[in-house]
Chain A
Amino acid sequence: MPENDFDVVVVGAGPAGSCAAIEAARSGLRTLLLERGPFPGSKNMYGGVVYPRILDDLIPEWWNEAPLQRWVTRRSTMVLTDTQALTVDFRNEAWAAPPYNGATAHRPEFDRWLADHAVAAGATLLCDTTVTGLLRGEARRSGRVVTGVRTDRPDGDVTASVVIACDGVNSFIAKEAGLYGTPNPKDFTLGVKETLALPRQVIDQRFGVRDLEGVDIEIIGCTGGINGGGFVYTNLESIAVGVVLKLTSLAAQTTRPEEIIARMKRHAAIAPLVEGGELVEYSAHLIPEAGLRMMPEMTGNGLLIAGDAAALCLAAGIWLEGVNFAMGSGRYAGQTAVEAIAAGDVSQRGLRGYASRLSDTFVLRDHRKLRRAPELVLGDRVQHLYPSMITGMAERMFRVDNPSPKPGLRRIFREERKRAGVSRRALLRDSRDAFRSFG
């Protein structure tokens, strides 16, 4: 048999793909990183915050070189009704100094920077090249095995010992390999985002930050009748305003996503933040939302799946973390390929180290811990009843109704629960679920 063109072919130069390629190339493997866009990150959008802790040992002091916008030092969670807002606001100055925590970043810049590290490590990066299928052969012991990929270029087949699919949400490679069941629209949300340009000082003033500090606001109750959530993030000279909408719920009605964003932007709590911003970008992307429930099998013979392609994005209400899960799983996939190639066994068995790496680290542990969260957060009660109950309680607590005396908290709670139409049983069940999910 002629030698393979490469040891490892990585499909997709997003955070998962570049990290897989860095690991493989640094171990001396002949690594090819294929990207369909004209450059890494050109096709990628997201809300806006990355948590690069997982890069600490891969790119030491990444914070000195990564193209980041602002360090997130304020995290707010906002509960909205049409006319009210209750915000829990946390500020931590330590997050604006090494080793930092999260930062807003533009994906075209961030993804390119990561891919440059893969190239520096010796990987070959080829853009403008779409993978259109898997090459397969027969191995004596393991049966059918992936032997490479077919691309859309003339004479475009490339062979490799291991293919790592990092082709993002709704991975066609994972599907072609038969690792996914039929996709269920219930498991996806649609993320829609507007980027609004504003002068730097205006952002500093409106969001109460200085220098390179930034804000991450997660919002619930801002998506009208559609189940979902919203966000506002600060970049250096722009803000990202968007919503994440449950696909089935969006499809069941006629309001368009841009109208939902427009309505959110008109809310009294949001309008002063976004006023005067010039729309410079509008984008939309699917998010694999269902976590553990929708994850495919992640290894095949000669094949590993990482990042959104494996539905590893953590979308659990106040957490929307996909990039770090992509980088983590990409790294583990790269390490597993190195190990399997060295051992001369790239069968599913030979690649089983991947499953244990995912299982033993934050990648699957967080998902397991938060497995009930997506359903809970996107459930009808959290979406449509609790916001009104919570803001109603706040209103009663702060309202001065003289000459009536202040009502007790327990009474407010009972009355507001009833007014919002929440049964005691449902509330108990949800509290238990919330405690289990987040506790």
Chain B
Amino acid sequence: MIAACIKSIDDRSTHGLSPADEAAIEMALRHGEATGHTVIAVTVGGARADRGLRVALASGVKTAIRVDAPNDTESAAVAAALAPVVAHSATVWCGDYSADRGTGSVPAFLAAQLRRQQALGLISAEFVDPLRVTRRLDGGRREVLRITGPAVLSVEGSIARLRRASLRPALAAQSAEVLPYGTTVVPSGKTSPPAVRPYRPRARVLPAPSGATALDRLRVLTDSSAAPEPGETIEAGPAEAAARIIEVLRGWGYLELAE
């Protein structure tokens, strides 16, 4: 199963779904089409939020679920409400901001709740196996990621435009039932999210600093006036250079975990 998590706003100045949330629905639908999985849409909010879910239903989402909650529920609580509903969805697509200019933190909280990998603020995705996504980084740089396990993804509005629903499905969606949370959603298959923790290099054993007094030893540990280790420039073919880089990284202790 694939889920799209959206927030539908309904006050005087703002209304409906953000472009990012609409894009999340579209990406979930495309992902579903590429993988043959069922797509559900979930929202946390009051009855007025059903309007957003009906947009998703009209576009082809199979099931719409609303967890009833006040509209100003904070991000962590929204994520906590979403977590059990999307626990069986291997991939969860969210928009990276809502129509009321949210902080975009719900997907991050949700990933933490579900103990899953996250990739936030995506600007493109290719539905190959494994899923290949691109994130925007500072300074015009891009980060390309391969998503191998269950994940929470958030997308920018520019990633895709929500398809225009045909008239009949749009009409059917107006009277379709929005499931209140509590209704059992049958999981499509067994997925056991792996435990993913942030990467921490292991501690290295360093020789004790030499020095007669405590102050001297402290100086040795902290003094930056000592000449820094000079950088090394390698002039070699790619294979040889790579071997040298690995050797150095191993010497610094960075590759221990991977090994």
Q: B12 at interface (Cβ–Cβ under 8 A)?
A: yes
Given A124-B174, A124-B175, A125-B174, CB of A155 within 8 Å of CB of B16: no
B241 to chain A, nearest CB (A): 56
CB-CB < 8 A to B170: which residues of A? 126, 129, 153
Asked if B168 is an interface residue, CB under 8 A from chain A, the answer is yes
Instruction: Answer yes or no: B244 CB below 8 A from chain A CBs.
Output: no
B204 at the interface (CB under 8 A from A): no
Binary interface profile of A, 122-158, with partner B (CB < 8 Å = 1, else 0)? 0011100100000000000000000000010111111
The chain B residue with its CB closest to the CB of A127 is B51
Contacts of B167 in A (CB 8 A): 129, 151, 153-158
B225 interface residue (CB < 8 Å to A): no
Residue of A nearest to B55 (CB): A128
Chain B positions within 8 Å of A125 at CB level: 174
**A336 to B167 CA separation, bound complex (whole angstroms):** 27
Give Cα A155 to B167, complex, Å: 6
Judged by a CB distance under 8 angstroms, whether A374 is at the interface is no
How many residues belonging to A are interface residues under a CB distance threshold of 8 Å? Answer: 18
The residue from B12, B16, B166, B175 contacting A153, defined by CB atoms under 8 A apart: B166
Instruction: Please state if B15 and A126 are interface contacts (CB–CB under 8 Å).
Output: no
Evaluate contact between B166 and A42: CB separation under 8 angstroms. Answer: no
What separation, in Å, do the CA atoms of A298 and B25 have in the docked complex? 43
- Bound Cα distance A109, B171 (Å): 23
Known: A125-B174, A126-B171. A155 touches B166 (CB 8 A): yes
B112 within 8 A of A: no
Least Cβ–Cβ distance between B65 and chain A, in angstroms: 22
- B16 / chain A contacts, CB cutoff of 8 Å: 38-39
Residues of B within 8 A of A108 (CB): 12
Q: Are A156 and B171 in contact (CB under 8 A)?
A: no
Residue A357 is within 8 A (CB to CB) of chain B in the complex: no
Q: B165 contacts the other chain (Cβ, under 8 Å)?
A: yes
Closest to B173 in A: A126
**Chain A proximity of B156: nearest CB distance (Å):** 21
Q: A residues within 8 A CB of B175?
A: 124
| Chain A: minimal CB distance from B159 (Å) | 21
Shortest A393–chain B CB gap in Å is 45
When A124-B171, A124-B174, A126-B171 are in contact, do A39 and B166 touch as well, CB less than 8 Å? no
Residue A106 at the chain B interface, CB threshold 8 Å: yes
Contacts of A124 in B (CB 8 A): 171, 174-175
Q: Once bound together, how far apart are the Cα atoms of A346 and B117, in whole Å? A: 62
The answer to whether residues A109 and B166 also contact, given A124-B171, A124-B175 and a CB cut-off of 8 A, is: no
Measured between C-beta atoms, what is the minimum distance from A225 to chain B in Å?
Answer: 36
CB proximity of A77 to chain B, nearest CB, Å: 31
Q: Interface residues, chain B, CB within 8 Å of chain A? A: 12, 15-16, 51, 164-168, 170-171, 174-175
Q: List 26 A-B contacts (CB under 8 A).
A: A38-B15, A39-B51, A42-B15, A106-B12, A108-B12, A124-B171, A124-B174, A124-B175, A125-B174, A126-B170, A126-B171, A126-B174, A129-B170, A153-B164, A153-B166, A153-B167, A153-B170, A154-B165, A154-B166, A154-B167, A155-B166, A155-B167, A155-B168, A156-B166, A157-B167, A158-B167
- In the complex, besides A109-B12, A153-B165, A154-B167, 7 extra interface pairs with C-beta distance below 8 angstroms are A32-B171, A106-B12, A129-B167, A153-B166, A153-B167, A154-B166, A156-B167
Contacts from A to B (Cβ < 8 Å): 32, 38-39, 42, 106, 108-109, 124-126, 129, 151, 153-158
Q: Which 3 A-B pairs have the closest CB atoms?
A: A154-B166, A153-B167, A156-B167
